[in-house]
Amino acid sequence: MNNIQLKMKLLEGIFGVCRLSSEDNIPHWCLQSEIYSITKTKDELSILCDLKFIPQGIKCEKPWKALKVEGPLDFALIGILSTISTLLAKNSISIFAISTYDTDYILVKEKDMDNAIKVLSNEGYIIK
């Protein structure tokens, strides 16, 4: 691991990653979630939010749990997300990552979260 001992927090909730058409407006249902992420490109509208707010019939990959890297992180720090994703990939754990101005969020399939926590803890990450 790098020289910084990173702390991570397991967040409450179970999340879904939805794909809507790039023509769609941002739906009101995602805004009810305590944590949500919206990305729009010419190809799609992608939304991450708490699974309990996602209506039936929406194309959605689920269930995900989230680890938050305790921040804020300095923009000068290099390789944080890369190191975490490499550790998990070496253990056949797929991730969905989101970065904000202050920190990174690592989403792992619910069935893999216990193993992800074990892998990261064994590498010196502090997870609460």
Residue 55 preceded by cis peptide, ω within 30: no
Report whether 36 contacts 49 (CB < 8 A).
yes
How are the residues of the chain apportioned to helix, strand and coil, as percentages rounded to the nearest 5? 25, 35, 40
The answer, yes or no, to whether residue 2 has pLDDT greater than 70, is no
- pLDDT, one tens digit per residue, over 84-116 is 999 999 999 999 999 988 888 999 999 999 999
Question: In this predicted structure, what is the pLDDT of residue 36?
Answer: 97
Question: In this predicted structure, what is the pLDDT of residue 39?
Answer: 97
- In 3D, which of 91, 125, 123 has the Cα closest to residue 108? 91
The answer, yes or no, to whether residue 117 has pLDDT greater than 70, is yes
The answer, yes or no, to whether residue 7 has pLDDT greater than 50, is yes
- Rounded to whole angstroms, how far apart are CA atoms 124 and 112? 19
Question: In this predicted structure, what is the pLDDT of residue 3?
Answer: 45
Report whether 72 contacts 43 (CB < 8 A).
no
Domain 7-127: CATH superfamily, name plus number? VC0802-like (3.30.2130.10)
Element (H, E) at 62: strand 60-69
- pLDDT, one tens digit per residue, over 47-72 is 999 999 999 999 999 999 999 998 76
Provide the whole-model pTM. 0.87
Element (H, E) at 37: strand 37-40
Question: In this predicted structure, what is the pLDDT of residue 126?
Answer: 94
The answer, yes or no, to whether residue 1 has pLDDT greater than 60, is no
